[in-house]
Every structure is written in C-alpha cells, then in structure tokens.
Amino acid sequence: MQMLTANLREKKSKGDAGRLRRSGKIPAVIYGHTDPQSVYVDAHEFSLKFHTLSESTIIRLAVGDKSHEVLIRDFQESILTGEIQHLDFYEIEKGKLLKTNVAVYLVGTAIGMREGGLLETFVHEVEVECLPKDLPPKMEIDISELQIGDSIHISEMPVLEGVRFLNSPDQVVCTVAHRAIEVEEEELEEEELLGEEEEETEDTEEA
C-alpha cells in the first residue's frame, strides 16, 4: 500500500492555498464517511508517487497521529505548468462496498495484429464495485489469441472474486479490425467484379 504524509490546514482561505502552493505544498481535502478535513501534502513527495497512482490505488494517508485509507477521487492541474493544484481524497470504509474505476491494460500481441490487423481499444478503464480488500490495482486482459475480426467484451473479462463490473456486459473493450486500406481494396475489387458481371449481362442481352 502506498504511504503519504499530510498535515492539517489551519487556514482555509484562497490566499492561504496560494501561499501553500508557492511553498511547495498541495492543498487537499479528505471526505467520505466522516466530516471533511482540509489538509496539504508535500508537492515533491506526491510528484514522486503520482505516476504510479490511479483511481483504484489505496493510499494510507498519515495526518498527525491518525491514518486514513483513501483513494484519489479528483485532482486539479495548472493549465500552464501541469502542476497539481488541488487533491480530493476519498476515505474508504473497511467492510463497506465501494465503487471506483480500474485501469485496463491489454497484454500480449494479437495473432491478428501480426497478420496485418489493427487493434482498436474502446475501454481504458472499467467501473467496479467491491470491498476495499478486493480492489484490484489494474485489470490485465490477454489479447494474444485474438484473430482479425475478434473482440473482447466486458462479459469476457477475467473473473475476480468479490469484484462486480458495472459496465454493460455487451460493451466492447477492444477488437482486432481489418486495416482501412484493406477494406477499401476489397470493396473496390467487389465493385469491379460487379461491373464486369453487369457488362457481360448487357453484352449477352445485345447478342
């Protein structure tokens, strides 16, 4: 489990938030089954871990002598610098179902891709419902056996004990399609054959 340290904010004005950012801190809020708490975290410490975190990463957030198990529910970035300006931590409750999104990773190289097919991905994360202890950090799907024209649906994703997918079972996660140029060539060939057949029919009728 990822660890992060936070401190309580004594002042909660916009001016104070700006001063925190200028001093290398990120204002944040903890909310969930308890009263919201305004806190801040060290920007450098958070940036070192940010790229390894997702909506399904449970973080143990230490605030003084207490700790909270939280998920990152939202964050705000600066349009100019890309730096994190604010964080929303959602405190989870042990033994209680939660809903969140889990990133989807496609593993392997599809047979159809080696034969010239194009992999199209439609779902990059899935919504799940489960207990905190069953929350997967990510969902991996093996696509190595997919042929051209094959697809994987939500209903075909790996079954994880205690985890329920909230997306439609019929939703397509990914598919291996013909490349557009191949489809166009096939359609052109069909049109040419059809044209030749029509010409032959006309010649026969004239004769």
Amino acid at 52: T
Q: Are strands 125-130 and 164-165 parallel, antiparallel or unpaired?
A: antiparallel
Give yes or no for residue 54 having a pLDDT over 50: yes
Over the stretch 10-32, which tens digit does the pLDDT of each residue have?
Answer: 766 667 888 888 889 999 999 98
For residue 187, what pLDDT band results from cuts at 50, 70 and 90? low
Query: Which string of DSSP letters, residue by residue, matches 35-48?
Result: --EEEEEEHHHHHH
Give pLDDT, residue 170. 95
**Phi/psi at 94 (nearest 5 deg)?**
-60, 140
| CA atoms within 13 Å, Cβ hemisphere of 57 | 16
Task: List C-alpha distances in Å: 31 to 87, 100, 131, 197.
Answer: 11, 15, 18, 71
- Asked whether the beta carbons of 50 and 63 are under 8 A apart, the reply is no
65-85 burial by CB neighbour count: b if 16+ within 10 A, else e? eeebbbbbeebeeeeeeeebb
E strand or H helix at 105, and its extent? strand 98-107
Report the C-alpha gap between 91 and 31 in whole angstroms. 6
**2-93 fold:** Ribosomal Protein L25; Chain P (2.40.240)
Contact 106, 145 (CB under 8 A): no
pLDDT at position 205: 52
CATH superfamily, domain 99-178, is Ribosomal protein L25, C-terminal domain (2.170.120.20)
Q: For the full predicted model, state whether its pTM sits above 0.75.
A: no
| Domain extents in the chain | 2-93, 99-178
